[in-house]
Structures are given as structure tokens and as C-alpha cells.
Amino acid sequence: MGNDNWPEVGEFVVCTVKNVTDFGAYVELEEFGGREGFIHISEIKAGWVKYVRDYVREGQKIVCKVLNVDPSRGHIDLSLKDVNEHQRRAKIQEWKNEQKAAKWLQFVAEETKTDESTLQELHEKLVEEFGSAYLAFEEAAIEGERAFKGIKVNKKYLKSIIKIAGENIKLPFVDIAGYVDLTCNLPNGIEVIKQALSAANSINDADEKDIRLEISYTGAPRYRIKVIAPDYKKAESVLKKSAQTAVDSITKLGGHGTFKRHIESAKA
């Protein structure tokens, strides 16, 4: 499902390198209809860069941060150096998940004999309600019809989504959550909270590929930390570590944080 909109400043985007020059690299943004962006040589890597080709090459998939967007000129400025390894891995995984979801939606379309225009509307609805199409399928696999309570989705699509989700998503054993309340009255309070959340989101060890950590906004000043893991012990450990990291981080930066434990469900 292509996105023909423009990315937002500060957003991480998956790009394919198309042309490397002496002064930077031109790339295509995979999630935005192939729109072109440019990485200036000064944004390739921290420090002095002599040869851009030492760091990027044509055909390479990379993750960049959006620095500036000018729709009137059709121009997007990007940075490669502002993306750390955790952010790169997380974005690539998110992109891969959305590619899977796009394929599953095609299965839905074939099964329900839905045209491309209606399918695009369904995709947009799922993104609006769940944050991403992949998360919609994941919730469908875990909760079934309950995941769509209060959401207006045609019954034939709903039935097909649940069926295809069940066929393609392996359910975890444990699904738990907790909440952190984060506040900061400093002038840069919003940035402080973002830093605390980023720290909390980065604690999951890269080797723990069977554990999923998600942080979402539920309403000021509360943020929900959700952990999906193959067993309760692992899930509980990651949840506590993530929440404590958020609280410690915002406290050091001049804010205040508290953690509330909450078990959503457990599946044996």
C-alpha cells in the first residue's frame, strides 16, 4: 500500500539509494510513493567524509531521518548520521511488517473480491484505528472480533482479516502492559518526554527477537508500555526495565515519572 503523502520532519523513513555523487546521495523513499530525497555529504556521517561511496552505494536500503520537506519544490532533505542502530533496526522491522500486512490485505481483496480503491480505503481505516495495518492484523489474531469493537468495518472484510491473521501470525504466550505517567514543566518538556520514551523503547536486547515492545500515547500524561513475549517471566522483566528506564531518564532530565503495573491478558 503506497503512501502518496509527504513525510513529516523528524520522521524515520526507509530509502533506496539511487545515485551517489561527490556531494551526497539521492534516494527514493519506499513508503512515500518513491518520492526523491537528498542526503548532503555533511549528513552522511558525523565528522569529515571524503568519499560518500565509502558509506552508501546504489541499491542499498538505508534508514534516514527527515530534516526538511518542501512540497512546492518537491524537495526532501534527509540525514543518515542522525539514525542510531536501534532506530534503524526498529524502522526496518516496522517497514517489513507493513509489507507483510500489504500482502495480507491483497489476500483479503482476493477472498472478498474487493477492488483496489475500496482496499485502499480499508487500509487507511486500519492505519487510522490501529496505528498500522500490521498492528490491526496482530490484534485480530490475538483478540478476534473484539479487536474491532466500536470500529466500523464491513463484516466480510472483518471475517477475512481475522482468518488471514490467524493463518499468518504466530500468537505469543503472554501479552502484558503497564503505564508510565511522564511530566516535565521545563520549556523543552516535550523533548524531554520524547527522550525518556526513546530510552524506554531501546532497552529490548536485539538478541531477544521473540519479544515485542510497544509504547503508545493514551492521554496526557500517560503512556502505555505493551510487551508480547513467549513467557510471563521474560515479558515482566522487559516491562519493568522499560518503565524504570523511562522514569529514571525523565527524572535525570528534570521531569517526573511514575509506573503503574497492569496485566492485560495471559495466554498459556
Residues 61-71 pLDDT 10s: 999 999 999 99
- Region 75-101: mean pLDDT is 93
Q: How many Cα atoms occupy the beta-carbon half-sphere of 173 within 13 Å?
A: 11
Taking the C-alpha atoms of residue 140 and residue 105, their distance in angstroms, rounded to an integer, is 13
Question: pTM to 2 decimals?
Answer: 0.60
Q: Where are the beta strands (DSSP E) in 11-133?
A: 12-21, 24-29, 36-40, 61-70, 75-79
What pLDDT is recorded for position 173?
66
Taking the C-alpha atoms of residue 202 and residue 189, their distance in angstroms, rounded to an integer, is 20
What pLDDT is recorded for position 84?
93
Q: Which residues contact 52 (CB under 8 A, 6 or more apart)?
A: 20, 21, 22, 23, 24, 25, 41, 44
Verify cis geometry, omega within 30 degrees of 0, for the bond prior to 221.
Answer: yes
- N-terminal to C-terminal alpha carbon distance within the chain: 35
What pLDDT is recorded for position 209?
58
The neighbour count for residue 118, using CB atoms within 10 Å, is 13
What pLDDT is recorded for position 33?
85
- % residues pLDDT > 70 (the chain): 92
Place of cell 526523491: 36
- Region 127-141: mean pLDDT is 89
pLDDT in tens, 215-233: 888 877 889 898 888 777 8
pLDDT in tens, 165-194: 989 987 656 778 888 999 999 999 999 999
What pLDDT is recorded for position 18?
97
Lowest mean pLDDT among 92-101, 114-123, 203-212, 226-235: 203-212
- Sorting pLDDT into bands at 50, 70 and 90, what band is 92? very high
Task: Pick 23 or 173 by higher pLDDT.
Answer: 23
Taking the C-alpha atoms of residue 34 and residue 111, their distance in angstroms, rounded to an integer, is 29
What pLDDT is recorded for position 205?
52
- Sorting pLDDT into bands at 50, 70 and 90, what band is 144? confident
Domains of the chain: 11-81 (2.40.50.140), 85-166 (1.10.150.190), 172-259 (3.30.70.1130)
Mean confidence (pLDDT) of the chain: 88
What pLDDT is recorded for position 36?
95
- Region 84-97: mean pLDDT is 92
Instruction: Identify the H or E element spanning 264.
Output: strand 256-266
